[in-house]
Chain A
Amino acid sequence: MLNLGLLAFAQPWLLLALAGLPVLWLLLRLTPPAPRRMAFPAIRLLAGLKAPEETPARTPWWLLLLRLLIVTLIILALAQPLLNPAARLAGSGPVVLVIDDGWSAARFWPVRQTAAANLLAQAEREDRPVVVLTTAASEQDAPPEASGLLSAAEARRLLQGLKPKPWPADRSAALAAVQDLDLPGSAHVVWLSDGLASPESDALATALQRLGSLRVLRDEGEGLARLALAPATEGVDLIARALRADAAGAGEAAVLAIAGDGRIVTKAPLVFEPGEREARVLLDLPTEMRNRIALLTIEGETTAGATVLLDERWRRRPVGLVTAGSRQEAQPLLSESYYLESALQPFTELRKGNVEELLQRQLAVLALPDSVVLSEDERGRIAAWVNEGGLLLRFAGPLSATRGSADQRSDDLLPVRLRGGDRVLGGALTWDSPARFAPFAADSPFADLELPDDVVIRRQVLAEPSLDLGEKTWARLIDGTPLVTADRRGDGWLVLFHTTANTDWSNLPISGLFVEMLRRVMGVSQGVGAGGGGEALPPLETMDGFGSLGTPPATVLALETGEDAESGVGPRHPPGYYGNDSLRQAHNLSSFLSQLEPLGRLPSGTTASLYQESPEQDLKPWLLAAALLLALADLLISLVLRGLLRPARGAVMPSLCLGLLLAGLTLAPSAQAQQSDDVRALEATLMTRFAYVLTGDDAVDEISRAGLLGLTRVLERRTSVEAGLPLGLRLGRDDMAFFPLVYWPITQTQPTLSRAAVDQVNHFLTHGGTILFDLREASGGAQIFGGGSRGTQDLQRLTQGITMPPLEPVPTDHVLRKAFYLMEDFPGRFVGGTLWLEALGENVNDGVTSVLVGSNDWAGAWAVNELGRPLNAVVPGGPRQREMAYRFGINLVMYALTGNYKADQVHVPFILERLGQ
């Protein structure tokens, strides 16, 4: 192969033929052109006449040049020029493909796959065997292992089924696998790396280089995967954090906070300062919205590392309010618990009940009004809980004032010792006026809170003076008496407000200051720790390599919690939610990764390059086509020169050439389309047919056609729907109105719709049509309108102007789940993508949604060839998945054709019977 940078020739020796061009030039010049032939009646008069001098007529120079150009083009074409050539495979042995398929590879995974496919094509061209080695452990927790010598076709199949894993690559195991490799000849090694370093990456590179020449493909800078760290909580605020590998230069990203139902709660920019690896941003949210956040993800990155799941620990602090046993139930609007509830509700998760109930679940803060009387048993429980880190918030009141110091010895749940009795300020029998707050001390949690003028304290309980009273005091009155005291007890805190939580003793509870103070107290509390000790948490939902949640595979084990449990992220414990009904714990990849490093210097002799999206392109057909066109032109010109083709006017020739060219370039289909409209309309209406949108990408269109064909066959076999062959639909040109269901695969290449097409689609949707949008990407569609992945961006681009109804994920009791088969999820070629449909609301269109949006590439799963064999492998695979895909198709067709009658009670007896078992 001759490589000229952008261009290379696969058969360079053929270029030698170019040397023959001058000879051809001479030959062409020496031979006079064939004479024009001319019929002439008066030939008898001409016969015998000879021109005096016989100088040979010359072929015109431009014709000569044209012919030389044709020959040159043909020679160049035969030399097989390649645009953007991949480097020639070095060595003579097999091609070794090392693919990083850890979490970080999920970003730009299609690019990696394209790169690998290109390499395989190259290996196929050179007839070299291929060894594939992935560096992450498999789902079955098998360490990375090199495949045997495969043919390129086998390797391609292997590659198609490959998915990035949600755990990090295990390069040390890969290193061991490489060291075990025994290859014939020197190999051409290509490492499709994720660009991130690990301790063994240098050793791996060295080991790979020992096999033969090593080429490393990697990402750089902004292209490297970023890691969403678990958010920090500051007080009650949530701070999203992200980590990047390459600290050079400034960087930008955005973090999306997504609710459990997939909607976007907020979006905040993450700015990486130059030289900084970490970026932080405060999620400024109304407290009501904050709790809805289920996960944070870096926008546009679909990796397991770019998504961090949140659980109770990041939610609002759960606060228990002890109410049972209170004696103020009679006047609920004046009770302490009512004031506390009102103040705490906005920013905490408030639970009410007795102590025993409350402590069964995790709590950050336990609020104890004065009116509650605790039993010894409860006291012990609380003490133990506080020792483990809880915060007990107590309020004084008439009860604590009358209890006296004798009782207080036994009451160890107070930060300071209290004097018996209370102090009344500004009463009828006192000289003092009601006291105000002194400014908060700088070390107090309440520091820098603004003091309103109108808050006055009329009664309080007093602390026994002691040496450490000053340290324990968080707030005091202007005369110096402590009003809020706190003390550490074990890992936890005891906090006491020396006044009541209702307005009996002060007007503090009805001021804004009260709420702010409680907020600060919440900020002091630790929050909820991670899990109960020693309990094994079974997986609830786990993430796949692209960072979307799904049903956990059977290989996932329960998560051991507890101090000594070693549970990293791996095949046995992929990131996701673990737990049970009462506890739901997020297991995040980022908890086990503290830093990211870009892949450093590679051993000398390796070639490193970036992933490039422009694949090599064979120019041979183009050159040959150009040569053919020129040859045609040459033919025409010679015909004209010889007088065999006599143009009547000068304009005929150019217009003929132009016509030929145009006919070749644009196969002007419009006239044809016009004529076939009626035929098509008949074709489309004589039988029920399903249609797919022609995207312009032949491969995709073919899959759509084959997919609907497969579905039609299955429908015919299993149901009474006997549909005709599916039809392709050119938006804006063909009438959509004939089709009950239109399948629309979203591609990058489909041009944005014209005005007419948008109107047509809108008309179709508002008049009872159903469109299934398919993003065709693994695990996409977790959120569809938030930027996100490429597919969703294309979806947004293509549906611009189309009035999309509000969408929601398929509700659990939706008709689509029971229209023919009972279904839980809707797999296609991929599993796990969310299927969105029109939020039920108005009962328009017989309750049938007009738009369905999913990402599982259903047509890919349905597609069959002429013999009825499936065309594509399903991922992760198995006949069951394909069967379920067909079932989804049948349900969808039933739903589209029959509407919601299945929502009636038809299945109820059967379902009840099932539930009973």
Chain B
Amino acid sequence: MTKPLPLRHRAEQLAATLPPLLVAAERVAATVAQGVHGRRRVGQGETFWQYRHYDLGDQPQSIDWRQSAKSDMVFVRQMEWEAAQSVWLWRDTSGSMGWTSDRNHQSKRERADLLVLALSVLLMRGGEHVALLGSGLRPSASRANLTRIAALVQNGEPATDNLPPALPLPRSAQLVFVSDFLSPLEDIDRALRYYGEGGQRGALLQVLDPAEESLPYGGRVRFDGLEQEPSWLVSRVEAVRGDYGRRLQAQRDGLRDICRALGWTCDFHRSDQPPQTALLRLYTTLSQAVTC
């Protein structure tokens, strides 16, 4: 087996299989940040838009001397106004994410990291400004930012909190949350409602370990939580498997309900499935937002 590539390379590899993702911007005017989305109007940008006659009040620096030399008029060069969407990513780093039932599988944390980073690569290739929620960095589409995000994702310390923090964000921000979402539904609802009521659009991705879905154990087992939950002794695990499955389904249903109420999308992913499927679905979700 060859040595696994660094996380960032793997994420880029994964992102390369999809076309650059352009996030539909709902509120273009509200943002100040610029992106590659040509706005068909004059503004700040890099692409040439038009020449117009010099008017009083124009800065002398904006005069295009080459064009002006061709005639007696003085021309000002104007660029197309380009604006970018900002996408805020967050993935759960709590203790429960760093678990895998089989050491041949990635842990949930690793899978979440990979997906988040792949998504940022894709977004940046599309010129979108990306930031890691809670990292304190400004959204940016520069290559350096990707490096910073990769470093942050890779070296992220396990957090105690397993829900996204409530931070003030611009209204046009898109949110992507990746977690196992095993917290009580009320807590999840509260955390998401903060953003939903602020007007931001978002997408949830629940990442679960296969063992968390099927509970493949048997016999007498004492289960220990990973986040200081009290342990629980089950004398015969096989006997409670059905009940557990029902509870898990209830959790997912609750999650779906919360998202529907907020107008967000919700998706489920298992860590033994290939990451591309989840990435593709996220891509679709974010693209569909354009049509809304």
Q: Are A50 and B240 in contact (CB-based, < 8 A)? A: yes
The residue on A at minimum CB distance from B107 is: A41
Q: Compute how far the CA of A43 lies from the CA of B233 in the bound complex, rounded to whole angstroms.
A: 10
- Contact digits for A171-197, partner B, Cβ 8 Å, 1 yes 0 no: 000000000000000000000000000
Q: Are B226 and A39 in contact (CB-based, < 8 A)? A: yes
- Also in contact, A32 and B225, with CB within 8 A (given A41-B99, A45-B247): no
| Contacting residues, chain B, for A55 (C-beta < 8 A) | 236
Q: Compute how far the CA of A52 lies from the CA of B237 in the bound complex, rounded to whole angstroms.
A: 10
Q: Are B224 and A648 in contact (CB-based, < 8 A)? A: no
Q: Are A49 and B222 in contact (CB-based, < 8 A)? A: no
Contact of A57 among B220, B222, B239 (CB under 8 A): B220
Using a CB-CB cutoff of 8 Å, which residues 629-660 of chain A contact chain B? 643, 648
- Contact digits for A40-51, partner B, Cβ 8 Å, 1 yes 0 no: 111111111111
| Contacting residues, chain B, for A38 (C-beta < 8 A) | 217, 221-224
| Contacting residues, chain A, for B243 (C-beta < 8 A) | 49
Contact of B225 among A33, A41, A48, A643 (CB under 8 A): A41
Q: Are B222 and A42 in contact (CB-based, < 8 A)? A: no
- Also in contact, A50 and B234, with CB within 8 A (given A37-B222, A41-B182, A44-B229): yes
Q: Are B182 and A42 in contact (CB-based, < 8 A)? A: yes
A368 shortest CB reach to chain B, Å: 110
Q: Are A43 and B234 in contact (CB-based, < 8 A)? A: no
| Contacting residues, chain A, for B209 (C-beta < 8 A) | 41
Q: Are A43 and B224 in contact (CB-based, < 8 A)? A: yes
| Contacting residues, chain A, for B227 (C-beta < 8 A) | 41
Please tell me the size bucket of the interface on B: 35 or more
Q: Are B235 and A57 in contact (CB-based, < 8 A)? A: yes
Q: Let me know if A904 is at the binding interface, CB within 8 A.
A: no
A59 shortest CB reach to chain B, Å: 11
| Contacting residues, chain B, for A35 (C-beta < 8 A) | 220-222, 233
Q: Which has the most chain A C-beta neighbours within 10 Å: B212, B220, B236?
A: B220
B211 shortest CB reach to chain A, Å: 8
The residue on A at minimum CB distance from B222 is: A35
Q: Are A46 and B224 in contact (CB-based, < 8 A)? A: no
Q: Compute how far the CA of A52 lies from the CA of B223 in the bound complex, rounded to whole angstroms.
A: 18
Q: Are A32 and B220 in contact (CB-based, < 8 A)? A: yes
A36 shortest CB reach to chain B, Å: 5
Q: Are B234 and A41 in contact (CB-based, < 8 A)? A: no
Q: Let me know if B80 is at the binding interface, CB within 8 A.
A: no
Q: Let me know if B93 is at the binding interface, CB within 8 A.
A: no
Q: Compute how far the CA of A51 lies from the CA of B243 in the bound complex, rounded to whole angstroms.
A: 10
- Contact digits for A44-77, partner B, Cβ 8 Å, 1 yes 0 no: 1111111111110100000000000000000000
Q: Compute how far the CA of A50 lies from the CA of B221 in the bound complex, rounded to whole angstroms.
A: 12
Contact of A46 among B103, B180, B223, B239 (CB under 8 A): B223
Q: Let me know if B251 is at the binding interface, CB within 8 A.
A: yes
A60 shortest CB reach to chain B, Å: 11
| Contacting residues, chain A, for B236 (C-beta < 8 A) | 51, 53, 55
Q: Are B248 and A42 in contact (CB-based, < 8 A)? A: yes
Q: Let me know if B219 is at the binding interface, CB within 8 A.
A: yes
Q: Which has the most chain B C-beta neighbours within 10 Å: A36, A41, A45?
A: A41
Q: How many residues of A contact B (CB 8 A)?
A: 26
| Contacting residues, chain B, for A53 (C-beta < 8 A) | 236, 239
The residue on B at minimum CB distance from A39 is: B224
B167 shortest CB reach to chain A, Å: 25
Using a CB-CB cutoff of 8 Å, which residues 183-212 of chain B contact chain A? 183-184, 209, 211-212
Using a CB-CB cutoff of 8 Å, which residues 219-270 of chain B contact chain A? 219-227, 229-237, 239-240, 243-244, 247-248, 251
- Contact digits for A519-536, partner B, Cβ 8 Å, 1 yes 0 no: 000000000000000000
| Contacting residues, chain B, for A47 (C-beta < 8 A) | 229-230, 232
Q: Are A46 and B232 in contact (CB-based, < 8 A)? A: yes
Q: Compute how far the CA of A648 lies from the CA of B211 in the bound complex, rounded to whole angstroms.
A: 16
| Contacting residues, chain A, for B212 (C-beta < 8 A) | 40-42
Q: Are B226 and A45 in contact (CB-based, < 8 A)? A: no
A52 shortest CB reach to chain B, Å: 6
Using a CB-CB cutoff of 8 Å, which residues 48-64 of chain B contact chain A? none
Q: Let me know if B34 is at the binding interface, CB within 8 A.
A: no
| Contacting residues, chain A, for B239 (C-beta < 8 A) | 51-53
Q: Compute how far the CA of A719 lies from the CA of B226 in the bound complex, rounded to whole angstroms.
A: 76
Q: Are A648 and B240 in contact (CB-based, < 8 A)? A: no
The residue on B at minimum CB distance from A32 is: B220
| Contacting residues, chain A, for B222 (C-beta < 8 A) | 35-38
Q: Are B248 and A40 in contact (CB-based, < 8 A)? A: no
- Also in contact, A648 and B103, with CB within 8 A (given A38-B224, A40-B225): yes
Q: Are A49 and B248 in contact (CB-based, < 8 A)? A: no
Q: Compute how far the CA of A43 lies from the CA of B230 in the bound complex, rounded to whole angstroms.
A: 9
Q: Are A45 and B229 in contact (CB-based, < 8 A)? A: no
Q: Are A41 and B226 in contact (CB-based, < 8 A)? A: yes
| Contacting residues, chain B, for A648 (C-beta < 8 A) | 103-104
The residue on B at minimum CB distance from A33 is: B220
| Contacting residues, chain B, for A52 (C-beta < 8 A) | 239
Q: Let me know if B85 is at the binding interface, CB within 8 A.
A: no
Q: Let me know if B174 is at the binding interface, CB within 8 A.
A: no
Q: Compute how far the CA of A652 lies from the CA of B199 in the bound complex, rounded to whole angstroms.
A: 55
A48 shortest CB reach to chain B, Å: 8
Q: Compute how far the CA of A35 lies from the CA of B219 in the bound complex, rounded to whole angstroms.
A: 8
B38 shortest CB reach to chain A, Å: 46
Q: Compute how far the CA of A35 lies from the CA of B236 in the bound complex, rounded to whole angstroms.
A: 10
Q: Are B182 and A54 in contact (CB-based, < 8 A)? A: no
The residue on A at minimum CB distance from B233 is: A35
Q: Are B234 and A39 in contact (CB-based, < 8 A)? A: no
The residue on A at minimum CB distance from B104 is: A648
Q: Compute how far the CA of A49 lies from the CA of B103 in the bound complex, rounded to whole angstroms.
A: 27
* A to B CB contacts below 8 Å, 26 in the list: A36-B220, A37-B224, A38-B223, A39-B224, A39-B225, A41-B95, A41-B96, A41-B99, A41-B108, A41-B209, A41-B212, A41-B227, A42-B212, A42-B244, A42-B248, A43-B223, A43-B231, A45-B244, A45-B247, A45-B251, A47-B230, A49-B232, A49-B234, A49-B244, A57-B219, A57-B220
Q: Which residues of A contact B (CB under 8 A)?
A: 32-33, 35-55, 57, 643, 648
Going nearest first, the 10 A-B pairs with the smallest beta carbon separation are A41-B96, A51-B239, A51-B236, A49-B240, A43-B225, A35-B220, A35-B222, A40-B223, A45-B247, A57-B220
Given A41-B212, A50-B235, output 6 extra A-B contacts at Cβ < 8 Å.
A41-B96, A44-B225, A45-B244, A45-B251, A46-B244, A53-B239
